[in-house]
Chains A and B, each alone.
Chain A
Amino acid sequence: MTERYTCADYRAWLVDALSESLDDREEALLQAHIAGCNGCADASSELRASWDMFRDLPAVEPPPRVQDRTRSAVLSLMAEEKAAAGRREWHDVGLAPLAVLSALLVTAATLSLLSGLIWASTLPQGHMFFCAAIFTGLLVGAFSWIYSATTVNGVHLDVAARVGILALTITVAATTACPEFQVLAWWDRSAMGRFFTRMLGVGGSSIVFGFGYGLFPGFLAALFGGRLLAERPLANGLVAGAVVFLLATPVIYLQSAPFTSGVIASWLAGTAAGALCGVLGAVRVRQRVDVASHD
């Protein structure tokens, strides 16, 4: 019976024997082996001596102030969560109708804007910008309401959506500031745009522009998402980046309307890559800041 086991097997059993977790049969086999094997007998007494050294040490108890501090920290967190849950419930009551209303407004604004574009509106350009700003604002509102009902990794996406508003504000500001309605057209006419078009072609130039377009808001979203980064920085940062990208996509499409689908796709790809790089950069920055603050 004992021949099936090697000394290595018995030595693993020695460890179990110390915590009295062998069954009767194993214990009997082990004792029989030890009786005939000097090496295992020595190992057994050595391990037993080492194990027993710890026996008389008293239990370590946390000082009362440490217990109190830890207990209070968790209880405060529980209280905060409870209060937030109460607010969230209230907030959720109005969420569905507001989301529907936002969607209706967005649809109406989109239709009016498209009708202006398609049927060559006589509105001056300033009004077009105004329409675009309203459209984007409503779109962001709709997205925010939808995201606020969605939780990823315990984080409500409205946090990320709010940061996404920044991306759209930048877009609208850029659109308003430049003489062309389409930002991409402005880029193509700029010295940088001409340089990249010469170097990489029209598609490559659009990717570069999209990259810069996504990089900045992606970085800001991940960096200032605040609690987004608390527990799972990369996963939550990517969620923030994805939200920024989703929010930017309709604007990109709107502004790329006169361009070919290849150019639009290049811009979108560049924006996605830029948002991703921005997020990774922000996560890295946050980690460095955390390390420094831990010091």
Chain B
Amino acid sequence: MAAYQGGSQAAFEELFDRYAGSVYGFLVRRLGDVALTEDLHQEAFLRLHRARKSYDPSRPFRAWLFSIVHNLLNDALRMRKRSPFAERRSERSNPSSDEKLEQPCGGPPEAADDKASPERILAARESGRALSRALSALPADEATVLILARFEGLSYDDIGSVVGRSPTATRQLAYRALKRVRAELVAAGHGEVE
């Protein structure tokens, strides 16, 4: 990061290779909207670049990075909420909700397991969709906490610094999020874990 702060292009490339997937994964899981995710992915790294000199090396880099992404996401959602046409546009750019939700949580690719039966593939895809729906239905901070803990492996202390909550409050958010996801899945008939 120090080299990147000093303007090294190679350092940026290395950092980008390391975190581009994490940022994309977080955004797509959090938003469930591929088109908006693609826009925000670029904006996230531009913001990171502009803010690079304010990075405090004593702070974990991932927590700092996701703070930027989290703020960007909140700005974008606020902007979308303010705009009376945004919802309609978003619907137009995402023709069906199944199509929209299938990709984000990444239902297993069809060719991922040659030995998998069509029934198993179908069941796994259904389960992926249900999870995406459950994540989308969570309150904003709960979804952020759960995604950062489950997929990005951040500690609750670090996640707390991202969402601006105490570590205890962050754990409570994670607890509630997991309970809600479970309830949602059970209600959707996906309660049994294979």
Partner-B contacts on A (CB < 8 A): 11-12, 14-16, 18-19, 21, 46-47, 49-54, 56-62, 66-67, 69-71, 73-75, 77-78, 81-82, 154, 231, 290-291, 294-295
Which residues on the B side are within 8 Å of A231 (C-beta)?
A: 50
Which residues on the B side are within 8 Å of A56 (C-beta)?
A: 108, 124
B100-143: CB near A (< 8 Å → 1, else 0) gives: 00001111110010000000000010011001000000000000
Q: How far is the CA of A70 from the CA of B20 in the complex (A)?
A: 9
Q: How far is the CA of A21 from the CA of B171 in the complex (A)?
A: 12
Q: Say whether, besides A47-B178, A50-B182, A58-B112, A69 and B168 are in contact (CB < 8 Å).
A: no
Q: How far is the CA of A185 from the CA of B149 in the complex (A)?
A: 69
Complex contact B168–A15 (CB within 8 A): no
Q: How far is the CA of A73 from the CA of B106 in the complex (A)?
A: 26
Which residues on the A side are within 8 Å of B41 (C-beta)?
A: 62, 66, 70
Which residues on the B side are within 8 Å of A18 (C-beta)?
A: 178
Partner-A contacts on B (CB < 8 A): 7, 9, 12-13, 16, 20-21, 24-25, 28-29, 38, 41-42, 45-46, 49-50, 79, 82-83, 85-86, 89, 104-109, 112, 124, 127-128, 131, 149-151, 153, 155-156, 168, 171-172, 174-175, 178-179, 181-182, 185, 190-191, 193
Complex contact B182–A21 (CB within 8 A): no
Complex contact A71–B16 (CB within 8 A): yes
Within 8 Å by CB of B24, from A19, A61, A290, lies: A61
Chain A contact residues, majority secondary structure:
helix
B83 to chain A, nearest CB (A): 5
Which residues on the B side are within 8 Å of A75 (C-beta)?
A: 9, 12
Within 8 Å by CB of A53, from B21, B50, B175, B181, lies: B181
Q: Say whether, besides A50-B178, A58-B106, A294 and B193 are in contact (CB < 8 Å).
A: no
Complex contact B185–A78 (CB within 8 A): no
